[in-house]
Homo-oligomer: A and B are copies of this chain.
Amino acid sequence: MENMNIKKLAKELNLSVSTVSKALHDSYEIKAETKEKVLALAKQLNYQPNPFASSLRRNSSKTIAVVIPEIAHNFFSLVINGIESIAEELKYHVLIYITHEIPEKEEQVIRHLLNGRVDGILISSSGTSNNNAHYHELVQKGIPFVFFDRANFDVDAPRVTTDDYQAGFQATEHLIKSQCKHFAFLSLSNQMSAINHRKDGFLAALKQYQIEPSHVHIIEAGTDETLSFQIIRDFLQPLPVSLGIFSSVEKLAIQTYHICKEINIKIPKQLKIISFSNLPTAALLNPALSTLTQPAFSIGKEAALLLFQSIKNKGKIQPITTLPNVVLKSTIFIRESTKM
């Protein structure tokens, strides 16, 4: 009596396997009385259908994958929370894959998922813009997927992003109005959509306020921790006068704080900084960090909702409609780190 299965259950009930299966799925073919008996014994014997047999036959896994660059990051953890809240409700399972910002790793994961292990995928891209073959293979295979935050705009897939351009513009305008004279944009790489939109907003604001181009600095710090520390440190020595930093990601802002502490640069006196961030401690930092905060939980929720929608519509003829493209608003929090 190791494991319960539908065959033993049927035997116990003196019914055929097919009848039991139909009863468990509440089929109209089975009369109420029989259904009750089946349900009762199934519960009593603690019967749970084998998920693999079921997936094999039905060709659906009740599982989605989340592919993210990293997880030890407030933004992504919050997004996962949002995703999970929806998946849990729909009784879907959530597989996590971490690419560590390595495009090849992402390709490998995506290619693996072509085997049908999941019904859909949520992706925050680590890919470079010149490589999207793996996304197209997903399209070809008909596996639904949705981009969130970092999208690939050359691929026809739903997207959930934030108003990165506007937020970038707003943050930069704030720095300008705080009397900064030099402006730096801290970036991970120039291959990530969200970050590039932030940069575009940054540059647009500087242009509008006619900031001299020689006062504008784009720092690509990269994803390697040690290296990015060095790059930022080098940039800050010697320190440009009245420097205003707009950090496109939380991690680089934190590094900047560490460096300022180390080489004794006073924030906000000598250097002002504002950053995209979901840090719950932003207001408690020394000094409190001005942030642009994305609605991370909602991003996860919206992306999951879009994904489940396209899973449900799979195979059906789609009305020719524009691709879902949800854009959520970030919130700006002005704190001490950009005080005049």
Residues of A within 8 A of B (CB): 3, 46, 48-53, 55-56, 61, 63, 70-74, 77-78, 80-81, 84, 88, 93-98, 112, 114-117, 254, 257-258, 261, 279-281, 283-288
Contact = CB atoms under 8 A, between A and B. Distances in A.
Nearest to A115: B48
Given A53-B56, A55-B52, A117 B96 contact: no
16 contacts: A48-B115, A52-B53, A52-B61, A71-B84, A72-B77, A72-B78, A84-B98, A93-B95, A94-B97, A95-B96, A257-B281, A279-B281, A281-B281, A284-B285, A285-B285, A286-B286
Report how many copies the assembly holds.
2
4 tightest Cβ-Cβ pairs between the two chains A and B? A286-B286, A48-B115, A52-B56, A52-B55
Chain A interface helix/strand/loop/mixed: mixed
Contact of A286 (B93, B96, B285): B285
B50 A115 contact: yes
A81 B77 contact: no
Contact of A115 (B49, B72, B84, B288): B49
Contact of A258 (B74, B114, B116, B283): B283
Nearest to A58: B52
Contacts of A95: 63, 93-96
